Amino acid sequence: MSLADCGREIAAVRAFNRFYTRRLEVLDQHLLKTPFSLSEARVMYELADRGELSAKEIGCELGLDGGYLSRIVQKFHEDGLITRKPLPSDRRQYRLGLTAKGRAAFAKLERASKDHVDTMLGPLSGDDRRRLIGAMDAIEHLLGATCTAQTAVLRDPRPGDMGWVVQSHGALYASEYGFDLEAPVAQIVAKFMTSFDPARERCWIADIDGRPVGSVFLVRHSDDVAKLRLLLVEPSARGQGLGQRLVAECVSFARACGYRRMTLWTQSILVAARKIYQNEGFALRTSEPHRSLGPNLIGETWEREL
């Protein structure tokens, strides 16, 4: 492609961007004649659409600067739009949620947005609307295909996540290794839920675009030893180091809790998981054949000092 052709394409994209942002009225200081800027509206949308989230999760999702997001959160809190609850696992972090006043403000913003789009589409015929939506789909598909995979957000579990952990382990290990894990995983999850100690135990759910794609648990094995359990990354989320991130979070949390050692039990055939454990400083301590999950398996105990 010549420099002239490249320059024309860049100019065309920038011209379309200027046109579209004017049409959506996002250049004004306040969005759609509401008290909120575009960034503030995006934060409210995340809380309304996905429920309670930490500021860190919102920042990762929207790509907002931490300091800027902190100012938005403080303003929302002072205006009575959100609640802030310290996370049991880290009192320095807060779980944010919309108050009744915040939900009412978001509902007004949502109505204004829908009315604006309806007014914008109103003059178009049915065929023109379909052409427009098709063009938008094409833009999203073509530009989205050039983006790197979306980074997963690590968060605390929400209602329904524990059922997902059991189901996903059962389905994934049955399809990839022929293991029947659903019952033993259900027992582990049930024990975690009934005897959970937030000061010394934790579960992380890896989330991409509101969908869980991974998990890991850190539980008390003894006063001095923490146990890593139920590490899983769905195939669609592999290749971005997510398993390594989940295990690293466990190591960091265990160290902060005052444990002196970590342990885990895995299978010799789980090559990718074994590599993750090795990279995080775990060493193989013992191995022995067993048939609890199927024939010809070798269970391994890995440990590391903290």
pLDDT in tens, 61-73: 777 777 778 888 8
Residue 17's SS3 state is: helix
Asked if 169 and 294 sit in the same domain, the reply is yes
Asked if 136 and 158 sit in the same domain, the reply is no
User: Does residue 42 carry a pLDDT above 90?
Assistant: no
Element (H, E) at 281: none
Instruction: Work out the pLDDT band at 149, boundaries 50, 70, 90.
Output: low
Asked if 46 and 128 sit in the same domain, the reply is yes
Report the b/e string of 243-256 with b at 16+ CB within 10 A.
bebbbbbbbebbee
Q: What is the pTM of this model?
A: 0.54
The chain-wide mean pLDDT, for the chain, equals 84
Asked if 212 and 92 sit in the same domain, the reply is no
The residue from 104, 127, 144 where one domain ends is 144
Q: What are phi and psi of 3, to 5 degrees?
A: -65, -35
The residue from 144, 175, 200 where one domain ends is 144
pLDDT for residue 51: 73
Structural domain including 270 reads 153-305
Ordered strands of the 90-98 beta sheet:
53-54, 90-98, 82-87
CATH number of the CATH domain containing 129: 1.10.10.10
State in Å, rounded, how far the first CA of the chain is from the last one.
56
Asked if 198 and 219 sit in the same domain, the reply is yes
The residue from 86, 113, 144 where one domain ends is 144
Residues 6+ apart with CB under 8 A from 274: 266, 268, 300, 302
Q: What is the average per-residue pLDDT within 188-214?
A: 93
- Give residue for tokens 């999203």: 140
CATH number of the CATH domain containing 212: 3.40.630.30
Question: Do 32 and 116 form a contact (C-beta atoms < 8 A)?
Answer: yes
Asked if 201 and 89 sit in the same domain, the reply is no
Asked if 250 and 283 sit in the same domain, the reply is yes
Instruction: Work out the pLDDT band at 150, boundaries 50, 70, 90.
Output: low
Question: Do 219 and 259 form a contact (C-beta atoms < 8 A)?
Answer: no
**Number of domains forming the structure of the chain:** 2
Asked if 108 and 173 sit in the same domain, the reply is no
Asked if 182 and 284 sit in the same domain, the reply is yes
Range with the poorest average pLDDT among 163-167, 205-209, 228-232, 280-284: 205-209
Q: What is the average per-residue pLDDT within 75-103?
A: 83
User: Does residue 213 carry a pLDDT above 90?
Assistant: yes
